[in-house]
Structure 1
Amino acid sequence: MNVHSHLLPAMPPHLIVAPTEPTLSERHIRILDAAEHVFARAGFHTATMQDVAAEAGMSPGNLYRYFNSKDAIIAGMAERDRSTIAADFAALCPSRGPLLDQLEELGRKHLVHQPREKAVIALQIWAEAARNEDMARMCAGIEETLIGGLVAALSEAKRTGELPADLDEQSFLLAISMMADGFFCRRAIESSFDADVGADVLFRSMRALAHAMPLPATQMQSMETQS
């Protein structure tokens, strides 16, 4: 099942971005991992390239060979996440079981099994995107990859009869994306937040909504008329 990657906006040309997975070099991976630790601990604006270099165990001069700025590192982090999401959705397949089970597995992978610092960084990125157009475009790229994969998966689940044919996909996607964003915010802000309990609530809600959000009657009538 292909993700709608053609919808993605172009990355700002002045940012030197690491190659996408699985072609990331060991050095790129080390730098991005180090940057995540540093940014989660100190924040984007306080952290310096020297801090990232020290965390990665290399000289600042060597670091600049791979990324020319903190913004470029952030772009590399965002692209790595987008690439991972795209690969995960490409692996969705009816032969692997019910779609909602597969979506829950993916959700737990990205929301629960990742370290809390990923949520902290996501919150910083969202805040920065409110005033930084380059960051906003990177966020849009990740969101469109996610939505593209979900749209393709939902269409297949409706075709096979797992989900209702009259499911309001747009409203359903909006609802679960807002819930997932709220989950990330709670996990980032509250150190005592129980991610497992929160995930149970989130995915029970997802399953209930999938069978409780039909298209408005007028829209269904219009679709039936067109068909």
Structure 2
Amino acid sequence: MRARRPSRPPAGFRPREVSDDELTTLVAAAQSAPTSSNLQLWSVVAVRDPDRKAQLAALAANQAFIVQAPLFLVWIADLGRARRLADRAGTPAAAADYLETTLTGFIDTALAAQNAVVAAASLGLGTVFVGAIRNHPDQVAAALALPPHTIAAFGLAVGEPDPGENAGVKPRLPQAAVLHRELYDTAADAHVATYDERVSTHNTAFGLPGAWSDRVLERLKGPESMAGRHQLRSALERRGLPSR
């Protein structure tokens, strides 16, 4: 899904609700994803309330499609459940303080969410990932009453796609740029120039600027380009994921 030009009304999702049965199917698919050591260090908050969606949209770069989507899923890297288990058992959970466990939480969450995206497509539903949910992690945690040792990893807008929204298929890097055989070969970067031409053509057709390289360099320029996410380490510490 692409951003619409300002002269046209916003579109992307039709008004049909995502049913509880469909939501159950998405979560069942998510729970079928691989999980490291079966720790299952993730949860998901299903948001349908218009006011709460509007609040989350405001915290996530004011992206209007979040409000428009009938269902907004906020995927949580959740070390809290395991910590509470340890508290009830009266045993330590010191390994949860280390970066490895925090990474495991985020990886588990991403694998689960991608399974849900595939399931959504099988149901005729469209999805949009929202990384901007990390722009204001403390406020998002408050809006969703997240307990300690949890943090919102990303959002996922879900709904029936508007057939009039011609988003096209965004080109990806050629396999020759990402597939290395036996050893990593930086010479594969030579394929980026041709890819930039493809992306520029695609973007021009949809009224968007720039090539892929331009976007990468702008996004990684410095903390000022990170929309507040350069403070994520301190947010993780405040949320109880210290990541030594």
Global fold match (TM > 0.5): no
Give the number of the structure whose residues are more often strand, by fraction.
Answer: 2
Provide TM-score, normalisation by structure 1: 0.23
TM-score (structure 2 length as normaliser): 0.22
